[in-house]
Structure 1
Amino acid sequence: MSFLGIDLGTSSVKIILINEKGDLLGEESRGYSVDYPKINWAEQNPEDWWKATKDCIKNLMEKGCCKKDTVKAIGFSGQMHGLVALDENDQVLHPAILWCDQRTQEECHEITNYFGQEKLTQYTGNKALTGFTAPKILWLKKHKPKLYEKIAHILLPKDYIRLKLTGEYATDVSDASGMLLLDVKKRNWSKEMLEFLQMKESVLPKLYESYEITGYLTEGIKNILGLKGEIAVVGGAGDQAAGAIGTGTVKEGIASVTLGTSGVVFASHNEYRVDKENRLHAFCHANGKYHSMGVMLSAASCLKWWVEEIHKGVAFEELLTEAENSPIGSKGLIFLPYLMGERTPYADPNAKGVFIGLTMSHSRGDMTRAILEGVAFGLRDSFQILKELKIPVEDIRAIGGGAQSNLWMDILTNVFDQKISTLYTDQGGALGAAILASVGNGTFDTVENACSKLIHVKKTYVPNKEKVYAYIQYYKMYHQLYDVLKASFDQLAHVQKSLYFI
């Protein structure tokens, strides 16, 4: 018996195959591009996702990772918030507008002004953010009305793959929580938001819990992929909720930190809770409960930019070695990691990346370390809010590519002043997706029981008092800089926009 976990990310799809013991039987990954047609826009072609997904599954089967009739269920982890608009024939009407796209600032203001923040929080649990799906829908309605009139179905990215596999229009409540269309507390579509958008509920997919079966692979698709037998497809989850499942973050007191393309601080709790200032997202969790989540838009992607764009040809390991030789605080250099704007705690698409404190004495290693520290400070912003809300955090698990760096984990541990553990698996969202599939199949009776059997801690990092003290001082300075620079960010965005076509 085996289970497929499909992790549809921003830059690639990753698919793993596990058995009921959690053993990794095989994995495949395929990349695809992101288009940036204008400043702060980000789009993808959903057909690229589908082709990459098909290729991965076919390759896994051709490798003989398992017998064709032993795959019993499939789960999803998906990049959140993206808008996939389909016509009545399921044809894609417009490139998918992604989670990191920032074009909808005016639409967010329009939604907030219409409802007022208190009512909007009551109806959806969240504030209107440029990454969310509802503002994207409103943008299409305003800027491409003829296209908007043709929309018959709206899906999230992973749910487009579900449609291809099963023919079903479905999503799960954890991913739907990030659309600004869901009444998160009640776990159903918000009538008030639908009325505002003048949109019928039938345009939206049917809602499921993440571990519930939403459909089965069609015969035609099984023939294409090389699979046999009845194969269930469960709801799956948004990437962060799925990643939390993959770390065992399913009980109160456990939190996870993701150092991926984006950075996430995620805490599980049993009852619905909402930050009245909406600095954290209030979402449904993939285990049937709830979670609070802070998101910074650029985390490991800051380092990726530094390596691939600024230092092409220089080995990643060489840059990290140089950073290890830089002292705490990078000789007084602070980096603001707002390369794609920022979400938590500022919700500001105009925010920009900044090095502040540069002098002639700074080296490349200092600048690399400042990037690592700046991302850690940005994640601490979210962790601080969890503490303010008195959400218990006793155990933190770290995942994502950045969690593989001992240096970055040491920095994060001391910036948080909290023990942080890594895990034996680095599969993250793909593992969470496969675990959800195993629960839907009935191999495990609950998500919590599945995680207790399959997730294990590998290494724990412990804070050092001297390092903690030093980082407290630097974090205080970091936290003040956004307010100091906000007016400059706004002015720069205005000038940039007005001169774009020159």
Structure 2
Amino acid sequence: MKCIITIELGTNGVRIFAFDLSGHVIGSMKGYYPSFHTEPDYSEQDPEQIFITTLYVLKNLLNEYIHPKEYKVSCICFSAAMHSVLAVDRNGNPLGNAITWSDNRAKQEAWELRSSALGKSLYAATGTPIHPMSPMLKIAWIRNHDKERFRQTSKFLSIKSYIIHQLTGEYMIDYSIASATGLLNIHTVTWEADALQYAGITDAQLPGLAPVSATAGKLKKAYQQSLGLPVETKILIGSSDGCLATLGDGAKGEGEATITIEDSGAVRVMGPAVLKDEQMRFFNYVLTEDRYVSGGPTNNGGNIFEWFTRQFGDFNNPFDIEHSMQQLIEEASRAPVGSDGLLFLPYLLGERAPIWNANARGVYFGLNIKHERRHFVRAAIEGIMYEIYSIGKTLSEQRNIESLSVNGSFGTIPFCTQLIADMFNKPVRLRRKFHSVSFGAWLLSATEMGIYKTLEQAARTVELPDVYKPDEQHHAVYADYFGIFEKLSNKLFDEFEAISNLQHKHAITKYTST
């Protein structure tokens, strides 16, 4: 019996699924790794810890589900979060930690570039919004502020490129992850000369470009032996988590949109053309050379409610975060729709779409003497969903959205899914207890193996049986409060900048005084 394994390198951990050739899950496992926030606006991860965790989880899954049942692994397909940057030396050794998508240290470079003619030209060519998330800007920051690391760097990699290099010895990056770097011309699918010049690098300092269905070499002999995998096991380079989540939900074209809320979140559409926007609010990433995934991301998804839970939840067991989150969600359900006028701006990590403001901060607004903890809990969840709705509302200026699907561990919590349906006033489809990124990777693998002729044919097989229908009265309440949420997000621009500058000023003072 043959099987396909998918490896998703997510923000807070690695998820590994095993599927049979009919798309049924044989087994799955997850391993966790931390992010480090050593200074304001910094977000980093240890690449060696990610690699060791990935190997550990993969070996355990093979030993528990695959080898005892004598499955033969035909293919291992990778997916990963976007916008990571890891500098390595000429021997492939990391020069410090990987910088993740949520890192905002390059906000000054982003601000200057975004307001320039070059910034507008680069956005049109690359489809990547001018924001500190962009690896192009992260590399520019290293060049400007960490000159010794920049001098020693042989290549700048994504986390996925690093993991694949460790396993196979090949330096490769798929079109999808590459199109989120700000360095790839998505129209010619080649590295963009003006972007390279801005970052101060050459294309020789980047991994080789490859389509998402490309084979990323063979496993090194040491890993063939330790994992018990044959030499012919195909290593598929795969795509980004966002593109595969959209594929895994069966989104095919006009009228369909997919919402993902995991740690971060996004609203995405798929189509044969890029979305052009003079305000540079949308991303346009390559799935295949004639198929683009477009939309807007938020920094602040399930990670914000997890933060809220750790600060204000009740813990019988200090490690039982999921039980504490569920208790708070049940408490939120006892508060009225709209939280009696208490609003929460969830911008604890700055924000990307649609305001693209790395200085944005979290705010509770509308607090009065009658508000209780249940209102704070519900307002926190509603704030995350208002932000998702604001992306969808902006996206609907460019594309007609008639149907929605939702995926991600936070978005598919029934309470949250119903909030999405009510805010958008549209039915929302999903498969609970199913991971769309991994299934998208299975669809990609199955297409590459010839089970499907095209990705479009593969997407047509996706079924989303669960439907949440909107409550129009709830929608009316949310529509009223969303108007205030939207105004606050833009009106507080100067105050966001001022508090960020003060935080930076006093952080420097504290550092120099110690």
Give the 3 Å change call, closer, same or farther, for CA 273–484 of structure 1 in structure 2: closer
C-alpha distance in 2, partners of 1:425/1:432?
A: 15
Select which of 398, 406, 411 maps to 1:398. 406
Q: Is the 8 A contact 2:78 2:239 kept in 1?
A: yes
| Alpha-carbon shift at residue 263 of structure 1 (Å) | 1.4
Contact conserved, 2:122 with 2:194, CA < 8 A, in 1?
A: no
Cα contact 1:123–1:192 (8 A) shared by 2: no
1:363 aligns with 2:406: no
User: Which residue among 452, 459, 469 is the counterpart of 2:466?
Assistant: 459
Q: Is the 2:266–2:388 Cα contact (8 Å) retained in structure 1?
A: yes
Shift of 1:216: 2.5
Q: Which amino acid counterpart does residue 440 of structure 2 have in structure 1?
A: G
C-alpha distance in structure 1 between counterparts of 2:218 and 2:453, whole Å: 20
Higher relative contact order (CA 8 A, sep 6+): 1
The structure-2 alpha-carbon separation of the partners of 1:281 and 1:409, relative to structure 1 and needing over 3 Å to count, comes to same
Work out whether residues 45 and 99 of structure 2, in 8 Å CA contact, stay in contact via their aligned partners in 1: yes
Q: Are 2:259 and 2:405, in contact at CA under 8 Å, matched by a contact in 1?
A: yes
Q: For residues 30-62 of structure 1, give each alpha carbon's deviation from its aligned partner in whole angstroms, at most 9, with x where no partner exists.
A: 101111110120101101111011011111121
For 2:83, which of 81, 84, 105 is the aligned residue? 81
Equivalent in the alignment of 1:442: 450
In the alignment, is the contact (CA less than 8 A) between 1:234 and 1:440 conserved in 2?
no
Q: CA deviation at 1:116?
A: 3.1
Most deviating of 427-436 and 407-416: 427-436
Q: 2:499, 2:115 → 1: CA distance?
A: 25
Count of matched residue pairs: 500
Q: Aligned letter for 1:136? A: K
Deviates more, 1:404-413 or 1:8-17: 404-413
**Correspondence list, 1:191-202, <5 A:** 191-202=193-204
State the AA in 2 paired with 1:405. I
> d(CA) in 1 for partners of 2:41 and 2:262?
20
1:131-170 paired onto structure 2 within 5 Å: 131-170=133-172
Structure 1: state its 5+ residue gaps.
none
Task: Kindly indicate whether the alpha-carbon contact (under 8 Å) linking 2:412 and 2:432 is maintained by their aligned counterparts in 1.
Answer: no
* Structure 2 runs not aligned, ≥5 long: 317-323
1:286 CA drift (Å): 5.3
Equivalent of 2:342 in 323, 333, 342: 333
Q: Is the 8 A contact 2:167 2:223 kept in 1?
A: yes
Pairing 1:416–2:416 present: no
Map of 2:329 onto structure 1:
320
Shift in Å at residue 442 of structure 1?
Answer: 2.8
Q: Is the 8 A contact 1:342 1:351 kept in 2?
A: yes
SS in 1 for 2:216: strand
Q: Which amino acid aligns with 1:166?
A: T
What are the equivalent positions in structure 2 for 1:29-428 lying under 5 Å apart? 29-66=30-67, 70-112=72-114, 115-285=117-287, 288-313=290-315, 315-389=324-398, 391-428=399-436
SS of the residue corresponding to residue 15 of structure 1 reads strand
- Structure 1 distance, partners of 2:211, 2:311, is 41
Letter in 2 for 1:346: I
CA 1:123/1:64 → structure 2, altered by over 3 Å: closer, same or farther?
closer
Q: Runs (4+) of structure 1 moved beyond 6 Å?
A: none
Give the aligned partner of residue 484 of structure 1. Answer: 491
Specify the code of the residue in structure 2 equivalent to 1:186.
Answer: T
Superposed displacement of residue 354, structure 1: 0.7
Q: Which AA in structure 2 matches 1:26?
A: G
Report the CA distance between 1:408 and its aligned residue.
1.3
- Deviation at 1:115? 4.5
Secondary structure of the 2:180 match is helix
Asked whether the 8 Å contact 1:341–1:348 carries over to 2, the reply is yes
User: What TM-score do the two structures reach when normalised by structure 2?
Assistant: 0.93
Q: Does 1:21 align with 2:30?
A: no
Query: Does the CA contact (< 8 Å) of 2:16 and 2:30 recur in 1?
Result: yes
Q: Deviations along 1:118-162, whole A, 9 cap, x unmatched?
A: 322233223321111011111111112122122112211112111
Alpha-carbon distance between aligned partners in 1 of 2:329 and 2:91, rounded to the nearest angstrom: 50
